[in-house]
Each structure stands twice: as C-alpha cells, then as structure tokens.
C-alpha cells in the first residue's frame, strides 16, 4: 500500500511536475511567441517607416522650395509625382510602390492602378466598411511626421481579404501625403492560433506537452525560414533602391559620415565626369567642384555643411559645376542628412541631389534681359534704370551726374512721315547716345521720347563734354527729311546725403527749360528743312513759290485784305505743297499720266501738309487752307469735297493762282501755254473748279 502510495505520490509528483513544466513551458512559449510576434511587427513597421522616410528625403528639396516660396506648390507637386512614380520595392506579392494622395482624397500617384490617378477615392471602403482614404488622410493630418493605419484589403491576385498595415507621412505645405503598405502574412495567423492553443495547455497531458513542443519547434523552424525570406527580401529591396536611384533623372551622390562617396548614379557620372568606380570612397570635394557664376568664387561643400549642421542645405543661385573634363554647367541641388530612425538619430551620411539647369538658366536670363531692355532701341528700360539708380547711390560713385533728354520733333515726325520713320529716329538717337557715352555709363529709354543717362564719377565739366558730343553728332545726322535733335538737361550729385531722385528732377527741369527756349528755333529749322527737301525732290521751285506769292498778294490787295491776312496768304503760297515731301519722287516728276493708285498717293499731300502745319505753332493758322487748296467750287475736289463758300477764301485764291502758274510754265508732263490760253482755261472752269467772282478779279489783275 505504501508502495502504491509512493507510486501514486510519485505519479502525482510526476503529473504535478509535468503539469508545472507544461505550465512553465506554455507560459514561456507564450511570452516568447508574443515577443517574437511583436518584434516581427516592429521590424515590419520599421521597414515601412524606413522606405517612406527614404522617399520623403528624396522629395524633400521640392517640399523645402514650396515652403520657402521658391517654387509654386503646383509645380512642386508635379516634380514630386514624377519622382514617386519611379520609386518601387519588392515584398511577398511582387513589386510594391509608394502612393501619394491629396488631403481632399484625390489619388495623385497610384502606379499599380494608374486609372485611379486623378480620381477622388474619398469613399473607398475596406471589407469591414472602413473608409480607407479618410483614415489615411486623418492620420496624415494628425501626425504629419508619420503614422500607421490598418485595414482589410485584397492583396494583388488574391480573392481573400487580408489585414494590411500602411505607413503614411504628411506634407502639410502641399496638403498631401505619401505612404506604402504591407499585407500581414499567414505566419501571423499561425502564431495567433498557437497562442490560443497555449491557453488550454494546462488541461492537457504529457503527450500533448510533447505534441505542443513539436508544434512549437515546427513553428519555430517556420519563423526562422520566414526570417530568412525577410532578409532576402530586404536585400532585394536594397538592390531595387539602387536600381531606382540609377533611374532617377537627377544626379544623386550618397556619402558616408566622413563625406566620402559611397554611391553615384549614372546622371551624376555624366555631370561630374567621374565613373562610379573612380569616385567610390573619394572625398566629395575631389569630384564635385562648384563655383559662383557671377563672382567665380569657389562655393562651400554642401555635404560638409550638412555634416556640420545636420540640416538640409540648398545651393545658392548662380551655382555652376565643373566636370572632370572642364565643362561648366549651371546646376540646382540640395543635400540632406541620412539618419538612422527618426530625425533625431545619428547622421550616417549625406545624399546630394542635383540637376543640370543650364538651358533653364539661359531662358531665365533671356526673360530677365527682355524685362530690362527697351525692344525698340536696344537700350535699358525704365525698370533697369530705377534699380541701377538705387544701386549707384553710394559714396564710391560720387560725383554722379544724371542727364535727361527729350527728342525734338518726334510727334511731328510720326504725324507727317509715320511711326516707322519716328522709330528710326529713336534708333538713330539711341546709337548717338551710345557712341557719345562711356562704357561705365548707364543709358536708358525713360519713356516715349525721353532718354536718361547715369554717369558715375562725373563732374559738371564731364557732363557738359558728353552733352556737347551728343549735340555735335546730332547736328551731323538726319533720319529721312528730319534732323536728329534732342533737348538735354543735367544735374550733379556731389554729397552722399543728396537724393538722386531730386537730382533727376533738377535735370528734368533744366531739360524742359532748354526745350522751351530752343523750341521755336528748332521748328524754324524743321520748316526750312522741309521746304528745302520739297524743292530738291520735285519740280516745285522757289521761283514757283515766289510767283504764287506775288499773284496771291495782288488778289489779296484787290480784295482789301489786312496786312496780317496778306502775311498768312503769302505763307500759304510758300508752303501749300509742303505735304509733297511724303510723296514718292517718281510720282512727283513722272512725265506720263499718273495711274489711279499714283493719283491716290498724290491726293494725300494736302492732308499730310495739313498735319505738318497743324503740328507747328507758327503754321497752325494756315493748316486748314493747305488742306482745302484742291477743293472745287462745285464740290468735285479733294479731300473733303467742300463746295462754294465752305471752302476757305485763301484756299480758293491759291487754287486759281496755282493753276495759272502751272499752265504758264514748263512741267515734266506738259509744255507751257500762253497767258491768253491760260486765262481762257481759267474762265472756262469758273463755277466748276474756281470761284466765279475770284476768277473775274484774277483775270482783271492779269490783264492789267
């Protein structure tokens, strides 16, 4: 009995021991399995976070530029979308990708479902009815630095839904986020079942303990194999990342924490001229030579600056890269630290991303040039001059002189000869100004007919010398029938506290006084020049003008006109055909009959003469008479077809005298007739072409 008791006791001890062992083993297995599950979960979370962080750092230069305002948000989004589309990696279901969506639910990048790009997926649900995009957007807004979201969705090619873990990172400045996800594999389900079984192991015999041990060992082997698969997958992802970097359109160089090159993609090879085998393990400063295009000074090494500050660094404007073979290219770039884990982790290296912007820079420079240049004269424009005025308001440029000029007669030239001749006049004057000024002087077209010059380190004597040179060159130049002429005024800044804008105002005032004083003299010169041009290019001679003046004067006397009216009639006789300077010489002196188109051009001379006289204060009183001196008594003349007394008296007088002189002198198109024949023709045209009363007065004067 005792033996039985002992045996029973031993059995009980064995059972109890077995039970305790099973309990301890089960408890231990539960802790180990749970810890293993958590570690696997943590590893996958870290992998997702790492992939998204790498992607975020790749696009961070554009985010920085959008935040600082250097790039428009829409343009930054397009650049980021192009980069995200090229980022792939491999998980258990094949290639995986980085997706991008806006806070509003618009799918911006979805490489495996391109048809969804641009569409709004706000109402997309998982198997349990959870709104996926809404969950992702809420997480991105609440935790822009990174957040995990789980939901049930169908893996590629699978019919059963599986739990998917996604990691997203927000981009608040662009109101968007990027992310990726992994499906929870079947191993997790087995582990969960194992944990459930272990909760019932306390009631199971020693045989089940062995069975449980077997199951545990089997699952342990399976997990080891899965871990090996995960390591292989990680290795493949690294290779894929390397391939992706080689495929990016920008140059990419990665260095270690000592600034030595560890990776260089093909674009970077082309831009630097260094092959990856040559560049590997060399200091970045040895292969990446950059300088300022404007100052030619060597730029600071961006990688060294990142390693020193731990912050993202962007290159300044006007940076150029000199390749190994000496080719210089304008570039834009940024360098960012490579950290382990979160942003607070240690720096393990630096990634440098750069691109060739030579063509973009040329286009930008051309746009800037057009923005600062007057397209007609090729001089600088007002915008350029105003900025230069601010820049040169410094002690080192004193004394500094401002010269203001206003073109004389530009409106008259445009009115008489058209804007093409006026534009040529401006170009000729711009050429004279450039020829007369020094290289260091700044010239600009200030307005329609105004020019302005900024002369650094120039005294009053120096300014007068330049102004005299301009005037001399103008006196020797003509543009068509018009002399090149400009009124000038200048003022000098000698003290640092003087305001350059006030100096400019003084120069303008002087110029306007000069223009007012010399205006009449200039107009008289223009009138004399126009008369000389007319007499040179046509059969209209000074003798003809003198004869008309005498005939008109006699008729005016007969009509008892005042001396002032006789002066106007005399001036009309001298300048009535001034508009013919704009008619082609071949038409004016044509011996044969004019064609209809030639007559049309000829008839315009009275209107042109009107504009010339109207633009000149000294001639404005006879402008209307010039316009009407080819009108007929019966309305058959031109250009307004006026009749009878509606035609000004002076125009009616001149038309008779002009017709008489034309008939009694030799012309290219006919021989002179006798006085009697001319009188007979004039009488015949009385009542049609000429005023009948004036014809009688004229005939009586001629006959006496």
Model pLDDT, residue 113: 79
Has residue 645 got a pLDDT over 70? yes
Three-state secondary structure call for residue 675: helix
The pLDDT confidence band at residue 300, using thresholds 50, 70 and 90, is: confident
pTM: 0.44
E strands present in 347-399: 347-356
Task: Please compute, for residue 513, the number of CA atoms within 13 A of its CA located in the half-sphere on the CB side.
Answer: 8
Model pLDDT, residue 568: 87
| CA quadruple 322, 245, 239, 262: dihedral sign | positive
Who contacts 384 (Cβ-Cβ below 8 Å, separation ≥6)? 372, 373, 442, 444
Has residue 13 got a pLDDT over 50? no
Backbone angles phi, psi at 159, to 5 degrees: -100, -15
Model pLDDT, residue 457: 93
Three-state secondary structure call for residue 333: strand
The larger pLDDT score, comparing residue 8 to residue 263, is at: 263
Q: How far apart are CA 323 and CA 270, in angstroms?
A: 8
Three-state secondary structure call for residue 492: strand
The pLDDT confidence band at residue 515, using thresholds 50, 70 and 90, is: confident
Has residue 678 got a pLDDT over 80? yes
DSSP code at position 380: B
Model pLDDT, residue 595: 85
The pLDDT confidence band at residue 605, using thresholds 50, 70 and 90, is: confident
What average pLDDT does this structure show over 563-589? 81
The larger pLDDT score, comparing residue 498 to residue 232, is at: 498
The larger pLDDT score, comparing residue 616 to residue 286, is at: 286
Which CA distances in Å does 677 have to 674, 681, 682, 699? Answer: 5, 6, 9, 12
What average pLDDT does this structure show over 119-129? 90
Asked if 477 contacts 483 with a C-beta cutoff of 8 angstroms, the reply is yes
Model pLDDT, residue 214: 64
Over pLDDT 90: what percentage of the chain? 28
The first and second tokens of residue 484, run together, are 């090149």
What average pLDDT does this structure show over 297-321? 82
Has residue 686 got a pLDDT over 90? yes
Of 106-110, 153-157, 246-250, 492-496, the poorest mean pLDDT is in: 246-250
Model pLDDT, residue 10: 46
The pLDDT confidence band at residue 202, using thresholds 50, 70 and 90, is: very low
Of 93-107, 224-238, 267-281, 532-546, the poorest mean pLDDT is in: 532-546
Q: How far apart are the first and last CA of the chain?
A: 186
Which secondary-structure segment (H or E) carries 375?
A: none
Q: How far apart are CA 59 and CA 335, in angstroms?
A: 11
DSSP strand pairing (319-322 vs 486-493): unpaired
Model pLDDT, residue 239: 67
Model pLDDT, residue 370: 62
Has residue 611 got a pLDDT over 50? yes
Model pLDDT, residue 16: 52
DSSP code at position 559: T
Of 180-194, 202-216, 243-257, 344-358, give the range with the top mean pLDDT.
344-358
Which residue do the tokens 């397209």 mark? 375
Has residue 541 got a pLDDT over 80? no
Q: How far apart are CA 328 and CA 319, in angstroms?
A: 10
Which secondary-structure segment (H or E) carries 362?
A: helix 358-372
Model pLDDT, residue 537: 57
Backbone angles phi, psi at 264, to 5 degrees: -145, 125
Over pLDDT 70: what percentage of the chain? 79
The larger pLDDT score, comparing residue 237 to residue 450, is at: 450
Asked if 374 contacts 380 with a C-beta cutoff of 8 angstroms, the reply is yes
Instruction: Decide: residue 464, CB within 10 A, 0-12 exposed, 13-18 middle, 19+ buried.
Output: middle
Burial 529-550 (b: 16+ CB within 10 A, else e): bbbebbbebbebeeebbebbbe
| CA quadruple 430, 431, 433, 437: dihedral sign | positive
Asked if 452 contacts 407 with a C-beta cutoff of 8 angstroms, the reply is no
Q: Mapped to the 3 state alphabet, what secondary structure does 27-77 carry?
A: HHHHHHHHHHHHHHHHHHHHHHHHHHHHHHHHHHHHHHHHHHCCCCHHHHH
Which secondary-structure segment (H or E) carries 553?
A: helix 542-558
The pLDDT confidence band at residue 5, using thresholds 50, 70 and 90, is: very low
The pLDDT confidence band at residue 7, using thresholds 50, 70 and 90, is: very low
The first and second tokens of residue 602, run together, are 């000829």
User: For 253-256, which contacts have Cβ atoms below 8 Å and span 24 or more sequence positions?
Assistant: 253/279, 253/284, 253/288, 253/351, 253/352, 253/354, 254/338, 254/349, 254/350, 254/351, 254/352, 255/284, 255/303, 255/349, 255/350, 255/352, 256/348, 256/349
The first and second tokens of residue 663, run together, are 């008939």
């Amino acid at each position: 009995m005792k033996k039985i008791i002992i045996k029973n006791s031993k059995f009980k001890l064995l059972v109890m021991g077995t039970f305790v062992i099973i309990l301890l083993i089960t408890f231990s297995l539960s802790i180990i399995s749970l810890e293993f599950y958590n570690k696997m979960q943590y590893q996958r979370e870290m992998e997702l976070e790492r992939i998204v962080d790498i992607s975020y750092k790749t696009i961070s230069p554009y985010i920085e530029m959008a935040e600082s305002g250097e790039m428009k948000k829409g343009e930054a989004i397009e650049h980021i979308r192009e980069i995200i589309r090229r980022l792939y990696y491999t998980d258990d279901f094949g290639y995986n990708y980085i997706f991008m969506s806006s806070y509003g639910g618009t799918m911006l990048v979805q490489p495996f479902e391109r048809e969804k790009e641009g569409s709004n997926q706000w109402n997309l649900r998982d198997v349990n009815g959870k709104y996926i995009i809404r969950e992702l957007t809420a997480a991105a807004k609440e935790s822009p630095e990174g957040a995990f979201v789980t939901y049930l969705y169908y893996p590629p090619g699978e019919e059963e839904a599986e739990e998917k873990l996604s990691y997203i990172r927000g981009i608040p400045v662009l109101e968007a986020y990027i992310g990726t996800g992994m499906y929870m594999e079947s191993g997790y389900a087995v582990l969960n079942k194992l944990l459930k079984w272990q909760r019932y192991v306390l009631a199971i015999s020693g045989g089940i303990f062995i069975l449980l041990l077997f199951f545990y060992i089997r699952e342990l082997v399976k997990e080891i194999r899965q871990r090996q698969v995960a390591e292989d997958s990680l290795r493949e992802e690294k290779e894929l990342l390397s391939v992706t970097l080689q495929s990016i359109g920008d140059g990419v160089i990665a260095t270690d924490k000592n600034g030595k090159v560890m990776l260089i993609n093909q674009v970077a090879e082309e831009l630097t001229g260094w092959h990856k085998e040559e560049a590997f393990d060399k200091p970045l400063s040895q292969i990446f030579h950059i300088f300022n295009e404007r100052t030619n000074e060597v730029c600071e090494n961006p990688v060294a600056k990142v390693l020193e500050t731990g912050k993202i660094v962007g290159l300044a404007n006007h940076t150029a890269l000199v390749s190994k073979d000496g080719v210089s290219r304008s570039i834009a770039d940024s360098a960012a630290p490579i950290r382990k884990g979160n942003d607070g982790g240690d720096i393990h290296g630096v990634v440098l991303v750069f691109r060739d912007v030579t063509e973009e820079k040329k286009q930008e420079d051309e746009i800037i040039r057009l923005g600062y240049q007057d397209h007609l004269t090729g001089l600088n424009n007002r915008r350029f001059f105003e900025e230069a005025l601010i820049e040169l308001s410094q002690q080192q440029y004193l004394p500094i002189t401002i010269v203001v000029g206003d073109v004389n007669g530009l409106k008259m030239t445009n009115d008489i000869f058209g804007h093409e001749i006026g534009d040529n006049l401006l170009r000729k004057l711009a050429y004279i100004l450039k020829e007369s000024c020094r290289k260091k002087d700044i010239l600009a077209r200030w307005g329609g007919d105004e020019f302005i010059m900024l002369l650094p380190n120039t005294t009053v004597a120096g300014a007068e010398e330049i102004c005299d040179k301009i005037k001399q060159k103008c006196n020797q130049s003509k543009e068509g029938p018009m002399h090149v002429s400009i009124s000038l005024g200048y003022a000098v800044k000698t003290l640092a506290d003087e305001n350059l804008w006030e100096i400019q105002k003084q120069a303008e005032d002087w110029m306007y006084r000069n223009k007012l004083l010399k205006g009449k003299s200039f107009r008289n010169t223009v009138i004399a020049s126009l008369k000389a041009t007319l007499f040179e290019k046509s059969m209209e001679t000074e003798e003809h003008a003198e004869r008309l003046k005498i005939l008109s004067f006699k008729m005016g006397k007969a009509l008892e006109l005042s001396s002032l009216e006789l002066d106007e009639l005399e001036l009309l006789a001298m300048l009535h055909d001034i508009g013919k300077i704009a008619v082609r010489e071949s038409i004016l002196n044509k011996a044969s009959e004019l064609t209809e188109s030639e007559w049309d051009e000829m008839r315009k001379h009275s209107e042109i003469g009107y504009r010339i006289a109207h633009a000149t204060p000294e001639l404005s009183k006879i402008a209307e008479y010039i316009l009407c001196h080819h009108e007929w008594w019966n309305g058959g003349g031109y250009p307004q077809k006026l009749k009878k007394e509606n035609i000004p008296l002076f125009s009616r007088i001149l038309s008779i005298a002009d017709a008489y002189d034309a008939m009694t002198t030799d012309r290219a198109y006919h021989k002179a007739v006798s006085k009697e024949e001319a009188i007979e023709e004039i009488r015949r045209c009385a009542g049609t072409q000429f005023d009948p009363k004036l014809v009688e007065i004229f005939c009586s004067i001629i006959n006496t």
